[in-house]
Each structure stands twice: as structure tokens, then as C-alpha cells.
């Protein structure tokens, strides 16, 4: 079931629930008003009859001051009373006089309303001097009755009962009920339709996002963007977030394509060299030993280069996969001395020295920190001319360990500084000096630094040398 349909059904369901709560209240309120109106129409004839009975001759009263029936025969006075009631009765109105025991004394014969017994519960308030009303049903027709006490000296002398049919009121209630039911059904349909239209309009941007995502998945056209509507609601934020995601995907996809192209280019060069040397060896099997040894040396050199490049690519793949490092407490000052001791024998024509080495320990990975130092020192040595110097320092600044590698080498142009951490990027002067590098070392160094929650900074001037500072939290 689609979200649009669920929202439409939700609107319809809410309206139906509110209708179930509200419509009965409306119906019973109207019924109460109509019954009160019916009671009001019975008050006037009841009061007129009461006024007439107040002056009725005492000869018709029994010893206790009330009216009564003597067996099955009606006294002459009671027959007169029945005749007097005719002026109050009508075809649609029934009037009766009851004695103090609730028995019939006289009634209007003109009425078409059937006489019905009075419920016992109606006499209780009447005995206390209050009128009581009730509803009764006969032959499927409802009637409204009003029982009014006839005041006596200590207790009511009797009761006046007035009644009329509720057919007009029931007809009105029937129309109200039909209107509520019809309006409820129409309201539910209307609420569902409006909900559908609102959902369709509100969900249109989401459909555009879905269509755009599907189109991008098929064409990989990450340059596409959604039109931002300028709203600050959830859909507007979703559109902005989706466009930001597309920016990231486009950048990542472009970087991946550049990475594959650059890696292919870097791999092609040593492979071509190896193939060429092998072809030479195959054609000149009787060549002098010196020539064969030189060709084999070239092959070995290119294999070493391939091995190094493959290792760097694997490191970067691990970085892209987000694999973490196992961390432990590392004495950075001892590590710096170890790296200096390891590289010192291979340094030729350049002074490689240690500056001030302060004691500093960090929470990190020993192997990766060593790799970081080797990359920075190797780069400094590689791009420093003969007679130059490379200096390694370690300082402790509050809770930060600062590792600096300074050289007096060829330097890096200011235009190249923002790109030196890009993969396979090499400044022209560096490439002209040494072709063995692939431009991945500083990218790996930056990744190692970030994994240790640190920062790496580069300051350089052409012809003046370069200083690389790595700052990592100390413990």
C-alpha cells in the first residue's frame, strides 16, 4: 500500500472517528431540545386545567379532599368533570384527571391518543410538587406525557396528565439522522479525497527524489540535482540533503575514476619496462653478461617499484574501507630514534640529524606511526639535494606531541601546496627529480595522522626547503 493511499485512509479514518464522537452528541442534543419543546406544549393545557380544577365544587371530593372512583360506577359529579375536560382535549391532545392514588377519574374523549398507565417513577417527583414527564410507545408511535400534581392541603389532591404524539419530533429526528449519516459518508469520502490530493502534492518532491535516484542509478549521472523549493520543512531539508549527498557522490565518483586512471598509468610504466627488458633478454641470449645483468637489474628495480606501489594501493584501499587500527601506548621519542637509526646507513650526500627529542607518549599504532615517520623522512631525503640537510624534532606542547621534519630541499610551489595530499599528485620539480615515486606517500601519511586524531601541516618555499609538522594528542 502506497504512502499516499495510507494518508488518504488516515484522513478518512480520523474524520470517521470524529463523526462517531460528534454525531451522537448532535443527535441527542436535538432530541433533548425537541422533547423540551414537546413538554412546553403540554404545560399550557395542564396549567389551564389546574386553574379550572381549583374552583371545582367540594361535593365531588371525598372525605380526604380528593377525587375518587366508587367501584365501577362513576359518580354524577365525575361525569360532569369528564364533560368539562372536553374543552381542554383535542384530537392530538389527551388530558386526564387522576386521583391521589393514580387511578383514572376523568379523561377527554375527543383525543385520539391512547390512555397509558403512568410509570411508578413519575409519581415520586409529582408527590413533591414537581411536574414529571416521560415517553411511552404504543403501536410503534411515541407519546410524550406530562404529569402535574393538583395542589392539596398536605398532599396532592390528584394529578393532571397531558399527552400528545411525538410524530412531528420523530419525523424531524429522522431527517436529522439521515442528514448526519449522509453527511458522515460524504465527509469521509471528501476527507479521503482531500487527503489523497494533499498527499499527492506533498509527496511529489519525494517522487522526484525517487525518480532522480533511479535515473542516477541507471546512468551514474551524479551531476544531476533536484530543484530546491526554498522551504524549510521536512521535504525542503530532504531535498537539500539529497543534493549534498549527490555532491559527495559526484566528488567520490570523480576521485575514484581519477584514482583508477592514475593507478593504471603508474602500473603501466613499470610493466612496460619489465616487458621491454624481457624482450631484450629473449632476443639477445648470447649478449654479454654485463648487458644481461643490467637488464635483470632494471627488471628487479621495476618489480620493487610495483611491489611498493601495490602495497601503497592496498593501504589506501584499507583507508577507504574505514578499517580501524589497534591502539596502544606508544613512546614516540623512542620511535623517532629507531627510524633515524634505520635510515641513517642509506643516506648519501645529505646530512640526516636529530634535533631536540622530548619525551612524548601517544595512544596509537606502533607500526603505522613508524610508517608515517618513514614516509616523511624518505620524502625529505628524496627531494633534498646533495649537501643539504634533513632534521627531525619532537616537542611536547601541553597535551599535544608535535613531530617536525625539516629539510633544505627544493621546496614546493605555493600553487601545489593545496594538492600535495591528493593521490598520485606530484609537483613538476619533484617529478623531474625522481620518477620512482607514485605520489601516494603523503596521502597515506595524512590518513595515518587522521586515524590518530591528529593534524598535519606543511610550510614550504621554493628553493628554501619544506617543514612538515604532525600534531597528535599526547597521553
- pLDDT tens across 302-338, in order? 787 777 777 767 776 766 666 667 889 999 999 999 9
User: Helix (H, G, I), strand (E, B), or coil: what is residue 424?
Assistant: coil
- Which pLDDT score is estimated for 357? 93
User: Mean pLDDT, to the nearest integer, of 188-209?
Assistant: 81
**Following DSSP, what letter does each residue of 359-423 receive, concatenated?**
--EEEE-HHHHHHHHHHHHHHHHHTS-TT-EEEEEEEEETTEEEEEEEE-SS---TTTGGGTTST
Mean pLDDT within 179-204? 84
Q: Cα-flanking dihedrals φ and ψ of residue 136, to 5°?
A: -135, 160
What is the arithmetic mean of pLDDT over 15-19?
A: 86
Taken in order of first residue, the domains within the chain and their CATH numbers are 3-174 (3.30.450.20), 234-320 (1.10.287.130), 328-473 (3.30.565.10)
Phi, psi of 392 (to 5 degrees): -115, 130
Round to whole Å and give the CA distance between 407 and 384.
7
Give the lowest-confidence range in 76-90, 103-117, 154-168, 413-427: 76-90
SS3 assignment, position 231: coil
Of 450, 456, 449, 474, whose CA–CA distance to 360 is shortest? 474
Reported confidence tier of residue 434, pLDDT bands at 50, 70, 90: very low
> Residue 166 pLDDT > 60, yes or no?
yes
3-class secondary structure, 428: helix
Distance CA 289, CA 286 (A): 8
Q: State the DSSP H helix or E strand holding residue 437, giving kind and residue range, or none if neither.
A: none
Which band of pLDDT confidence, cut at 50, 70 and 90, is reported for residue 361? Answer: very high
- Please determine, for residue 74, whether its predicted confidence score (pLDDT) is greater than 50: no
Tell me the pLDDT of the chain averaged across its residues. Answer: 80
Residue 390: pLDDT band (50, 70, 90) is very high
**Spatial strand order in the sheet of 400-407:** 351-357, 389-397, 400-407, 465-473, 455-461
Taking residues 77-100, report their average pLDDT: 68
| Cα angle for residues 219, 222, 224 (degrees, 5° grid) | 95
**Least confidently predicted of 12-16, 450-454, 462-466:** 12-16
How far is Cα 309 from Cα 332, in angstroms, rounded to an integer?
A: 27
pLDDT at 43 over 70: yes
Per-residue model confidence as pLDDT tens digits over 205-224: 777 778 877 887 787 777 77
Amino acid at each position: 500500500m502506497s504512502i499516499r493511499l495510507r494518508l488518504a485512509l488516515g484522513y478518512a479514518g480520523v474524520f470517521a472517528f470524529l463523526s462517531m464522537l460528534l454525531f451522537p452528541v448532535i443527535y441527542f442534543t436535538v432530541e433533548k431540545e425537541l422533547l423540551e419543546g414537546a413538554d412546553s406544549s403540554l404545560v399550557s393545557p395542564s396549567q389551564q386545567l389546574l386553574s379550572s380544577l381549583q374552583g371545582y365544587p367540594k361535593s365531588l371530593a371525598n372525605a380526604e379532599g380528593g377525587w375518587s372512583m366508587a367501584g365501577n360506577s362513576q359518580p354524577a359529579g365525575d361525569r360532569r368533570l369528564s364533560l368539562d375536560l372536553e374543552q381542554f382535549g383535542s384530537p392530538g391532545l389527551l388530558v386526564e384527571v387522576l386521583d391521589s392514588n393514580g387511578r383514572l377519574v376523568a379523561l377527554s374523549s375527543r383525543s385520539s391518543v391512547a390512555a397509558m398507565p403512568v410509570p411508578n417513577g413519575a409519581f415520586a417527583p409529582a408527590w413533591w410538587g414537581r411536574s414529571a414527564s416521560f415517553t411511552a410507545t404504543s403501536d410503534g408511535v411515541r407519546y410524550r406525557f406530562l404529569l402535574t400534581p393538583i395542589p392539596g392541603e398536605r398532599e396532592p389532591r390528584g394529578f393532571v396528565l397531558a399527552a400528545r404524539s411525538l410524530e412531528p419530533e420523530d419525523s424531524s429526528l429522522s431527517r436529522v439522522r439521515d442528514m448526519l449519516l449522509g453527511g458522515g459518508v460524504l465527509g469521509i469520502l471528501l476527507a479521503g479525497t482531500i487527503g489523497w490530493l494533499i498527499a499527492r502534492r506533498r509527496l511529489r518532491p519525494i517522487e522526484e527524489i525517487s525518480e532522480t535516484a533511479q535515473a542516477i542509478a541507471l546512468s551514474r549521472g551524479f551531476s544531476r540535482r533536484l530543484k530546491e523549493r526554498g522551504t524549510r520543512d521536512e521535504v525542503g531539508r530532504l531535498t537539500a540533503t539529497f543534493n549534498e549527498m549527490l555532491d559527495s557522490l559526484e566528488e567520490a565518483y570523480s576521485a575514484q575514476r581519477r584514482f583508477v586512471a592514475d593507478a593504471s598509468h603508474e602500473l603501466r610504466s613499470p610493466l612496460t619496462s619489465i616487458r621491454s627488458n624481457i624482450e631484450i633478454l629473449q632476443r639477445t641470449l648470447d649478449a654479454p653478461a654485463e648487458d644481461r645483468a643490467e637488464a635483470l637489474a632494471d627488471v628487479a628495480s621495476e618489480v620493487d617499484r610495483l611491489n611498493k606501489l601495490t602495497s601503497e594501493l592496498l593501504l589506501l584501499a584499507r583507508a577507504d574501507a574505514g578499517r580501524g587500527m589497534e591502539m596502544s601506548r606508544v613512546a614516540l621519542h623512542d620511535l623517532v630514534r629507531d627510524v633515524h637509526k634505520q635510515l641513517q646507513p642509506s643516506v648519501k650526500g645529505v646530512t640526516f640529524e636529530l634535533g631536540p627529542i622530548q619525551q612524548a607518549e601517544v595512544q596509537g599504532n606502533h607500526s603505522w606511526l613508524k610508517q608515517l615517520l618513514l614516509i616523511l623522512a624518505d620524502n625529505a631525503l628524496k627531494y633534498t639535494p646533495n649537501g643539504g640537510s634533513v632534521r627531525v624534532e619532537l616537542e611536547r606542547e601541553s597535551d599535544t606531541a608535535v613531530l617536525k621534519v625539516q629539510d633544505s630541499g627544493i621546496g614546493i610551489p605555493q600553487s601545489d601546496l593545496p594538492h600535495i595530499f591528493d593521490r598520485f599528485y606530484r609537483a613538476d620539480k619533484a617529478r623531474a627529480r625522481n620518477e620512482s615515486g607514485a605520489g601516494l606517500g603523503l596521502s597515506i601519511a595524512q590518513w595515518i595522522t587522521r586515524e590518530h586524531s591528529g593534524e598535519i601541516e606543511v610550510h614550504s618555499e621554493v628553493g628554501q626547503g619544506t617543514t612538515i609538522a604532525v600534531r597528535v594528542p599526547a597521553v
